[in-house]
Structure 1
């Protein structure tokens, strides 16, 4: 199973981000992220054996999440990944705490991050939502439109299974972990 933890937007937030993605893809090229797959990854676990699922779920249930509102008020892009993203000028401390807590629980439980996983040991959380993939090389440097701030209420996080196909990734929400405070 290919797994990741994420913030999953409400339908209005997903629609608003999808609209921005479509507009930018028309303007810059590339492929807009589908409304149904818009999310903010908190921890990518990659391929995991099914027998690790109970340990992964237990690690996530031990994470404490305070409710917070995220303001997506910035667009940016990465030439090396050929993508456009939405992010925040200043990430709330509760978001950073959630991502760090989740990562620490997973690493400490060895549920998903093995001790020899050097790449994940260098982990750094950069909060962003991918809006457009496969931007053409000539789109860089990006001439980005102004970004109207979008408020995203965050009251839970989810575990998602990602299934890759020729049509793109299909996501299945496997479990939801609600705020505790």
Structure 2
């Protein structure tokens, strides 16, 4: 039973951008209000695991290492908005099959391992750009291309009132 915040880790799996992609996504934030996502925290969540005991890390790492070797080519060509909790995000008009396959394989592996992932809503791949913001009516921008090459198991924590994401383990998606 989790009785104390220190008894668990808040974890998620994500595609982790390279420096050039991170910089391009950060440029989309220039005209946004609200609480902007720190550049080093930009990512695309594949599965949010929530509170997990530290003892689950070896299993979660093995699931990461067993994911299929695919390198999805992502084109962020639209800005979206989730009303609750007031998030602006970069997304794709067309989700590549390789990305859908990766997410489905991960969800199935987690299910087989007995790890609950909330799948009530469909997978909407996106990168959160700002929180506590309003919808942008007209937001022209050049599409951001990203050949996703890294998948990571990430720990979400709060330090000094700021959200900090730490990559616990990662691997190349091309099998290396």
Settle same-fold status: TM greater than 0.5: yes
Which residue number in structure 2 is paired with residue 134 of structure 1? 132
The count of residues paired between Structure 1 and Structure 2 equals 167
Residue 160 and residue 81 in structure 1: after superposition, are their counterparts in 2 closer, same or farther (change >3 A)? same
Root-mean-square deviation (CA, aligned residues, Å) is 1.6
Deviation at 1:30, TM superposition (A): 0.6
Deviation at 1:36, TM superposition (A): 0.6
Alpha-carbon contact 1:155-1:179 (below 8 Å) kept: yes
Deviation at 1:4, TM superposition (A): 0.4
Which residue number in structure 2 is paired with residue 107 of structure 1? 111
Runs of 4+ in 1 over 6 A off after TM superposition: none
Which residue number in structure 1 is paired with residue 6 of structure 2? none
Q: Tell me how far apart the structure 2 counterparts of residues 144 and 132 of structure 1 sit (CA, whole Å).
A: 16
Q: Secondary structure at the match of 2:48?
A: strand
Q: Of Structure 1 and Structure 2, which has the larger fraction of its residues in helix? A: 1
Q: Tell me how far apart the structure 1 counterparts of residues 120 and 10 of structure 2 sit (CA, whole Å).
A: 20
Q: Secondary structure at the match of 1:164?
A: strand
> Quick check: 1:17 aligned with 2:15?
no
Which residue number in structure 2 is paired with residue 82 of structure 1? 86
How does the TM-score come out when normalised to structure 2? 0.88
Q: Tell me how far apart the structure 2 counterparts of residues 83 and 122 of structure 1 sit (CA, whole Å).
A: 19
**Unpaired runs of at least 5, structure 1:** none
Alpha-carbon contact 2:89-2:127 (below 8 Å) kept: yes
How does the TM-score come out when normalised to structure 1? 0.86
**Unpaired runs of at least 5, structure 2:** 1-8
Deviation at 1:180, TM superposition (A): 4.3
